[in-house]
Amino acid sequence: AVRDTAEEEGCAVYLVGGFVRDLLLFFPTQDLDFVVEGSGGQFARALIQRMPDGKLTQHEKFGTAQITFPDGSHLDVASTRWEYYSFPGALPQVEESCLRDDLFRRDFTINSMAICLNTEHFGELVDYYGGKRDLQQGKIRFLHNLSFIDDPTRMLRAIRFAERYHFSLAKETLEALYTAIESGVLAKLSVERFTEEILHIFKEINYLAMGQTLIRSGLFKAWFGDDYAWNFNLEDEQDSADWSLNTRWLISISDMDSPVIEKVLDRVILNRSLRDETMTFVSLRESLSNPLSLNEMDALLNKVPKEVVMVLTRDERFSKLLTEYLEASQKINMSLNGKTLIQMGVKQGPEIGKILDQVRRAWLQGRIHTLEEEKGIVRH
């Protein structure tokens, strides 16, 4: 469809960036990035005609468009020639640029390659800056030495790509990274963008190694103000493959004292669930330090997300207590609920909650084992 649209519109179209990199590495990849020499917006509007499932979103201001599909995948279209409007109704300002410049504005050589999609040159690799060589040699190399200054998120990206592909930073790039960290360039970065990059890292398979590099390079210290007790233990590598993003995050901060966690939270903007789970984790650590009965534990933990309890269980101060509780709570196999109680003749109201609590407690303490016994408690 892209090739046909390109012919129809008479413009040059390329696949660019991460997709080309991962294609050459035989690395699984999803997102498609296209660059159009000409108007990306116009191209995207023509392309969507051939993709009835797709939904088009245009960002005129940036000369980009995105087509999303029902399965959640998407493709991005950018233009080497931008048309943007400084205010609604103004004449379009046109910026001329070409593929070479577009690719030069990118972060690393391995991300600055393109594949032509026009019929005449279909499938040809465009590699002005030695991207293929660096892929073969396993190097992350910037295109110019102001790269990290222009865009400090690239510091985190460099670390992410290096660990993801087991590459190393080219000498000048590594030096520039250290210089950038020392010169305080991170201060230019907003908390939102930093958080976004960090969460990208936490989603990577080998995020533990990345975390270690973030500490070792001094980048975390530069951002958070100190070398806090981050927990990126390589021994967890195998287990971590099954951990959710939230679990990974909670484990990474699990060795820190509560006031330190608060300081960390000042330097990131977490989404609601991540923030709530962090706070729950902190407050449960406090509560669990006091002696608790099984019932009290149940009241505390019953509604807490499983991952928070799992991370708490890793703490040796609580592991015995929590394992006992989890074993007991697994025995709970309640059949009754508010509705069945009403059918049994219990009056609607606070009484119902009380009875359900009693039944749950009986299960937890191993006093009952069947539905009949549950009903026995209710009748009693």
Contacts with ligand CTP by CB under 6 A lie at 17-18, 31, 33, 106-107, 111-112, 151, 153-154, 157
Considering the complex, what minimum distance in angstroms separates the CB of residue 31 from ligand CTP? 6
Distance CA 150, CA 31 (A): 24
Considering the complex, what minimum distance in angstroms separates the CB of residue 358 from ligand CTP? 52
Between 66 and 168, whose beta carbon lies closer to ligand CTP? Answer: 66
Between 141 and 154, whose beta carbon lies closer to ligand CTP? Answer: 154
Between 129 and 281, whose beta carbon lies closer to ligand CTP? Answer: 129
State the CB neighbour count (10 A cutoff) for residue 305. 17
| Contact assessment for residue 107 and residue 21, using Cβ atoms and an 8 Å cutoff | no
Distance CA 215, CA 222 (A): 10
Between 154 and 248, whose beta carbon lies closer to ligand CTP? Answer: 154
Considering the complex, what minimum distance in angstroms separates the CB of residue 115 from ligand CTP? 13
Considering the complex, what minimum distance in angstroms separates the CB of residue 204 from ligand CTP? 8
Distance CA 53, CA 81 (A): 27
Between 112 and 252, whose beta carbon lies closer to ligand CTP? Answer: 112
Token output for 148: 């990290």
Contacts of 137 (CB under 8 A, 6+ apart): none
Amino acid at 104: F
Structure-token match 């806090």, residue found: 228
Residue 85: name the closest of 115, 129, 41 by CA.
41
Structure-token match 């670390």, residue found: 159
Measured from each CB, the residue nearest to ligand CTP is 18
Partners of 114 in the beta sheet?
16, 126
Distance CA 11, CA 5 (A): 9
Considering the complex, what minimum distance in angstroms separates the CB of residue 33 from ligand CTP? 6
Distance CA 328, CA 175 (A): 55
Between 213 and 329, whose beta carbon lies closer to ligand CTP? Answer: 213
Considering the complex, what minimum distance in angstroms separates the CB of residue 15 from ligand CTP? 11
Phi, psi of 113 (to 5 degrees): -105, 160
Between 18 and 130, whose beta carbon lies closer to ligand CTP? Answer: 18
Considering the complex, what minimum distance in angstroms separates the CB of residue 67 from ligand CTP? 15
Q: Are strands 93-95 and 168-169 parallel, antiparallel or unpaired?
A: unpaired
Considering the complex, what minimum distance in angstroms separates the CB of residue 197 from ligand CTP? 9
Considering the complex, what minimum distance in angstroms separates the CB of residue 246 from ligand CTP? 20
Token output for 9: 């519109």
Where does residue 190 rank: exposed (0-12), middle (13-18), buried (19+ CB within 10 A)?
Answer: exposed
Between 161 and 228, whose beta carbon lies closer to ligand CTP? Answer: 161
Between 107 and 307, whose beta carbon lies closer to ligand CTP? Answer: 107
Query: Alpha helix locations (H) across 203-315?
Result: 207-216, 219-224, 237-240, 245-253, 258-266, 272-287, 294-301, 306-313
